[in-house]
Amino acid sequence: MTDADLQKKWAGLYDIVPEQLNKVKQINSVATAFNTNIDAVLKISGRRIAELAEKVGLTAADLADDKTQIDCAKDVVRGIVKCFGKGIAEEWLCEKSEVYHWMNDNIGYDRLQMGGQGGIVANTMAIVGVQKVYAHTNSHPALQSEQFLDLDNLIGFDENGRPQKAVLIDRVTEDPLVHWIIEFDVGDETVIDGQKFKCPKSNRFIATYDPANIELKIDAGFVNYLNENGYDYLILSGYHNLTSERGGVEKVIENAETVNKWHKINPQGIIHLELASTQDKAVRRAIIEHIAPLVDSIGLNEREALDALEVIDSEMYAEVKKQELTSAVLFKVVERIKQSVKVPRIQLHMFGLYITLQDKDFRISPEANRNGMMLAATLAATKCGIGNLNEYDNLLWAYGSAVSEKSLNALMMLSNVLNLPTLLTDGIAPYNEFEIIAVPTILIDKPLTLVGMGDTISSVSLVGAR
C-alpha cells in the first residue's frame, strides 16, 4: 500500500469523529480527582528579574545555595535566576502562605488558567458533552471557580459538601492553590550582584504553592457523593505530587482503600489512572503496587512509561535506556507494564502515535477504542492549533486534517516489527492474549499550547470510546 493509499485509508477511518463526539452526550457521569489548582502564567524579562533580585537583596552568595525549597521571597527569585541562567525547567515547592502572598503582590501573572490533571480533565469532559462532571477540589475559593468553564454540567462541592455548579462555588476560608509558571526567552540577559547571565534556552521556572495537593488531602463532599451515587467513569491522578519524606507512600496506601471501596460499590464504573511523572521512586512504586492494580485503565506518555518500568523491571529498564525510544521499543515497555500490573487496558500517548493494549474481553471493543482515540487525536490537534477547548463549536477545528507522515512511519515500524499488517491499515490487531489498537495522529507545526495534552488525550480516548 502506497503512502497516498494509507493517507486515504486513515482519512476514511477519521470520518467517524463527528459522530463519535456526539455519542459522548450519552454518558451520564464522569468524576475527576484529585488535583485541581490554578496556573499563573508569566513571561518574565531579564530586566524584570534584575529588579526583583534587587528588591529582595539577592547576592552572589545566595545564588550558590543549592536548596530547592521556597521558604522566602529570596528563594523565589533565586530559582528564577538559576533556571534562566541555565535554560532549564525546575519546579520548587512553597508551603508558606506569606510567601504566596508576596508572589501574588510582587510577581503577578499575565493570565490564569486551570491547572492540575483533575481540573483540566473536568473542563474537557464537560465541554465535550458528558451529562454531569463532578470535579474534586482541595481548595475552591472564587479564584479557583473562575478557572472552571461556565457550564451547567460541571459540578463541584461547596463548603457543606453539597454539589453545585463549579463556577458558583466560593469556599472563602480556603487559599487558592497556585502554580506560578514563569517563562523566559533564549538570548535574554540579566545582571545579578555584578554577575551577568544569558539565557541559553527558552524554558520556565515553576513556583508552586499547593499545600493541599502536596498532602493529597481529599474533600469529604466528593467522597461521600461518589459513595452514594457512583459514576460511569472515574479519572484519577495527583499522586505524583507526593514525596516519601512527607509520608507519601503511606498516603498512597491509605487512598487505595478509598479507591477500592469505590470500585466495590460501583463495579460497573470504569476507573482510569493517569500515571503522571512521579519523581519520588518510592511513591512511584507505591502507585504501581497499590493503586494501579485497582483500576481498569492506565494512561501514560513515554517518560512515564520508562519511570514505571524502572520500578517494575530494572534490568529491562537498563537495556531500554540504551536504545532509541521508537514505537516498537515503547510498545514492549508498555506490554511489560501491563503484564506486571495486570491492568485490563493501558494506553501510551507518544508524539504522533497512540497505542492501546487491552484484554480481549475488555468491555469496550477495539473498534470503539480506535474511534475514541481518533476523537482524542482530533481534539488534541484542535487544542494545539487554537490554544484551548473552551467552545463546543470549535472542538472539531482540526477535523479533516491529514494524519502526519511521521505518525504513519511510527505505525508502520510497529506493524512491521510485530508482523501485524492490519495494524497499519486498520489500527487493530490481535496480539497474544491482547488486542492492540494504534492510531496515527494529526500534528500541528506550531502548537499554541501543550499544557494538559496528555490528560486530554487519555480521558477523551477512553470516554469517547462508545
- As a whole number, the mean pLDDT across the chain is 95
> Is 156 within the bounds of a domain?
no
Is beta strand 189-192 parallel, antiparallel or unpaired with respect to 195-198?
Answer: antiparallel
Looking at residue 203, which CATH number applies to its domain?
Answer: 3.30.1110.20
- The answer to whether 438 and 407 are in contact (CB under 8 A) is no
pLDDT of residue 394: 97
> Is 32 within the bounds of a domain?
no
pLDDT of residue 448: 86
Residues 258 and 199 in one domain: no
Average pLDDT value for residue range 159-168: 97
Rounded CA-CA distance 442/380 in Å is 8
> Is 146 within the bounds of a domain?
no
Average pLDDT value for residue range 12-37: 97
pLDDT of residue 333: 98
Residue with cell string 505530587: 241
Helix (H) or strand (E) holding 189: strand 189-192
Rounded CA-CA distance 319/71 in Å is 40
Cell of 307: 519511570
Residues 200 and 248 in one domain: no
Of 91-100, 130-139, 230-239, 337-346, which gets the smallest average pLDDT?
Answer: 91-100
Residue 164 — φ and ψ, nearest 5°? Answer: -155, 155
Residue 207 — φ and ψ, nearest 5°? Answer: -105, 115
Of 124-133, 422-431, 450-459, which gets the smallest average pLDDT?
Answer: 450-459
The residue segments making up the domain with residue 238 are: 3-27+232-463
Residues 354 and 256 in one domain: yes
- The answer to whether 207 and 220 are in contact (CB under 8 A) is no
Helix (H) or strand (E) holding 430: strand 428-431
Q: What pTM was estimated for this model as a whole?
A: 0.92
Residues 189 and 330 in one domain: no
- Bridge partner list, 178: 38, 209
Residues 183 and 249 in one domain: no
> DSSP string spanning 261-283?
HHHHH-TTSEEEEE------HHH
pLDDT tops 80 at residue 95: yes
Residues 8 and 45 in one domain: no
pLDDT tops 90 at residue 1: no
pLDDT-derived band at 164, boundaries 50, 70, 90: very high
Rounded CA-CA distance 341/335 in Å is 10
Residues 193 and 274 in one domain: no
CA-wise closest residue to 398 among 381, 386, 384: 381
Average pLDDT value for residue range 334-348: 97
Total domains present in the chain: 2
Residues 193 and 243 in one domain: no
pLDDT of residue 397: 98
> Is 132 within the bounds of a domain?
no
pLDDT tops 90 at residue 450: no
pLDDT-derived band at 398, boundaries 50, 70, 90: very high
Q: How far is CA 201 from the centre of its chain?
A: 24
pLDDT tops 80 at residue 342: yes
pLDDT tens digit sequence for 317-333: 999 999 999 999 999 99
pLDDT of residue 124: 98
| Whole-number CA gyration radius for the chain | 22
Rounded CA-CA distance 346/364 in Å is 13
Residues 286 and 203 in one domain: no
pLDDT-derived band at 192, boundaries 50, 70, 90: very high
> Is 162 within the bounds of a domain?
no
pLDDT tens digit sequence for 355-395: 999 999 999 999 999 999 999 999 999 999 999 999 999 99
- Burial class of 248 by CB neighbour count within 10 A (0 to 12, 13 to 18, 19+): buried
Share of the chain above pLDDT 90, in %: 91
CA-wise closest residue to 273 among 338, 352, 339, 331: 338
Summary count for the chain: helices (H), strands (E):
19, 19
Residues 10 and 106 in one domain: no
- Bridge partner list, 429: 436
Rounded CA-CA distance 213/273 in Å is 17
pLDDT of residue 388: 93
pLDDT tens digit sequence for 239-275: 998 999 999 999 999 999 999 999 999 999 999 999 9
Residues 329 and 182 in one domain: no
> Is 214 within the bounds of a domain?
no
Within the chain, what is the greatest distance between any pair of CA atoms? 67
> DSSP string spanning 321-354?
TTS---HHHHHHHHHHHHHHH--SEEEEEETTEE
Average pLDDT value for residue range 203-215: 91
Average pLDDT value for residue range 418-422: 97
pLDDT of residue 28: 98
Share of the chain above pLDDT 70, in %: 100
> Is 128 within the bounds of a domain?
no
Burial 364-400 (b: 16+ CB within 10 A, else e): bebebbbbbbbbbbbbbbbbbbbebbeeeeebbbbbe
Residues 203 and 245 in one domain: no
pLDDT of residue 311: 96
> Is 295 within the bounds of a domain?
yes
Looking at residue 346, which CATH number applies to its domain?
Answer: 3.40.1190.20
Burial 252-282 (b: 16+ CB within 10 A, else e): beebbebbeebbeebeebbbbbbbbebebeb
Question: Under DSSP, is residue 235 helix (H, G, I), strand (E, B) or coil?
Answer: strand
